[in-house]
Amino acid sequence: MNYQLSFIQIIKNTVPPNMHLAEEVSSALGISADSAYRRLRGETDFTLNETVKLCKHFSIPLEALNAEMEDVVSFRINNILGNDNSFQQYLLSLDRDLTWLARFDDSMLYYAAEDLPVFYHFFFPRLARFKMIYWTKSILNVPAFQGVRVEEVQVPDGWSEVLTDITRKYQSIPTTEIWNEDTIKSTIQQIRFYWEAGFFKDPATLLDILEDLTGVIEMASRQAETGKKYNPAKGTFNDTPFSMYISDLMIGNNHVFMSSGTRTSSYIGYGSFNYMRTANAVFNGQISGWLENLIAKSTLVSKVAEKQRNQFFKQALKRVVELKEEIAAG
């Protein structure tokens, strides 16, 4: 096996076609453009140090060089720490990944949603704020968030700017989403738990969050009806394609899969809201096959199957109304 040529091909499959690869390699290694060209033509071998530098620069795992290691998969994870800046770090990492995805003209984002796709929250500030508090306080157990109620938590500086950037990039990427009846349940359960635990000072705050959750459901419904991405803040559609499937099967965990020609990446959810990413071809082939099987056993509801689509979203809205009634009843 010629590892030099294989490594060059892996790099080419990782970067957008419009990237000037020789210049990128030259900059990453601190070598001349001529030296970079010689390496990319296979005339000069990469040293081990150069290979490691390029792997870090292009986010390529070293195990990708050995096609025989099919049972070994490396993932890149977010290094989210238990401090009050943790959610900001998560947002910045997510923004970087979307920036990478958006660089490919023919990319497609597949989202198997055990929970609400994370991007929806960011269109609705009150719900996004609640999710930030829930993840930071209850999942990461950050000390600064303990012993305070929802209304007392201070939003990190620069938070809204990052959210705006994330939503803009999400709107530009064609997406296929797979939902089931549990997709909306976890968020409702989180809100109910905070209400029952006394983490809200004012019931009006809780009702505002449920209003935003209603907005999420309506946003998804509009996108499914038209087959296009919808921006609820502006009340407008764009030409970015959107497809939705409803599955009767349990999804098990959030899975995001990006496909762009020969380039693929998988994002696997863990730790309630975090995710890890890999470009491993064998693993991604398995995820792609799993998604194809899940889609084949699901019902397409975008632009078709109006009855099933309306019934699904009507049931989701009913759950929100039922929680509102519980709150009103005390």
Residue with tokens 């490396």: 74
Confidence class of residue 230 from pLDDT cuts 50, 70 and 90? very high
Kindly report the pTM of this predicted structure. 0.78
pLDDT at 82: 61
Q: Per-residue pLDDT tens for 202-213?
A: 888 999 999 999
Length, in residues, of the chain: 330
- d(C-alpha 301, C-alpha 227), whole Å: 9
**Mean local confidence (pLDDT), 277-303:** 88
**Does residue 288 register a pLDDT over 80?**
yes
Residue 11's closest CA among 60, 47, 67, 45?
Answer: 60
Q: Per-residue pLDDT tens for 104-153?
A: 777 889 999 888 998 999 899 899 889 888 888 888 777 777 888 888 88
Q: Given 3-state DSSP classes, what are the helix, strand and coil percentages for the chain, each rounded to the nearest 5?
A: 50, 15, 30
- SS3 sequence of 283-328: HHHHHHHHHHHHHHCEEECCCCCHHHHHHHHHHHHHHHHHHHHHHH
Confidence class of residue 81 from pLDDT cuts 50, 70 and 90? low
